[in-house]
Amino acid sequence: MMANTALLVIDLQNDYFPGGNYPLWHANETLKKVQKAISNAQQQKMPVIFIQHVANAENGTAPFFNKGTKGVQLHSALKDIAASSHLVVKQFADSFEQTDLALVLEELTVDSLLICGMMTQNCVTHTAISKSAESYEVAVISECCTTVDEMIHKIALNGLSPRVPLLSIEEAFKPNQ
């Protein structure tokens, strides 16, 4: 990755964890790996940007991520770091769509993105291959993503792989040589 890289942490929200409205496969294990990625980013003084999905209330009550609910909130394990990081709120799978993400990245002079989060086949993929992401060097930290089950996760990563590099945590945070 290039020098000016940001870590995007997409939709690590309560509804995707046990007890939430739509718990995902290996959510807690993925959270631990994302926390490791965040720690690595902090050590490298890399900006961490949290993306939070909030359902559009104009469309009625959604199955999850409804404004004002516990489920829409970022996971409590991320509360401290999220308070000192950037937060982008979205209503679409693509984290760039009708948000200020591009503006935040411009202000931070970011030219590379490391992406992780939930769900692999939806918000992670749509953000990674967004038309708006084309001006960045983009990679996905595959072990820091999850979805409804392992098969869908692997299918999504396979579909994404011709267009976006898939990295391990170690590869993603390897110091530039």
Per-residue pLDDT at 177 = 42
Q: Is residue 177 part of a domain?
A: no
Instruction: Specify if 113 maps to a domain.
Output: yes
CA–CA dist 149, 110 (Å, integer): 32
**74 SS3 class:** strand
Confirm whether 35 is domain-assigned: yes
Give the pLDDT band (50/70/90) at residue 28. very high
> Which domain, by its residues, includes 145?
5-172
Are 34 and 41 contacting, i.e. CB atoms less than 8 angstroms apart? no
Residue 165 lies in a domain: yes
* Predicted pLDDT of residue 59: 86
Distance CA(79)–CA(68), nearest Å, equals 16
Number of domains the chain contains: 1
E strand or H helix at 55: none
User: Per the domain annotation, does 129 fall within a domain?
Assistant: yes
Give mean pLDDT, residues 59-82. Answer: 94
In a domain, 120, yes or no: yes
The pLDDT, as a whole number, for residue 71 is 97
Integer CA distances (angstroms), 70 to 14, 17, 75, 85, 133, in order = 7, 11, 9, 20, 30
- For residue 34, being part of any structural domain is answered with yes
Q: Residues 45-55: pLDDT tens digits?
A: 999 999 999 99
122-177 per-position pLDDT tens digit? 999 999 999 999 999 999 999 999 999 999 999 999 999 999 999 999 999 987 64
* Domain-located, residue 9: yes
- Domain with residue 147: its CATH number is 3.40.50.850
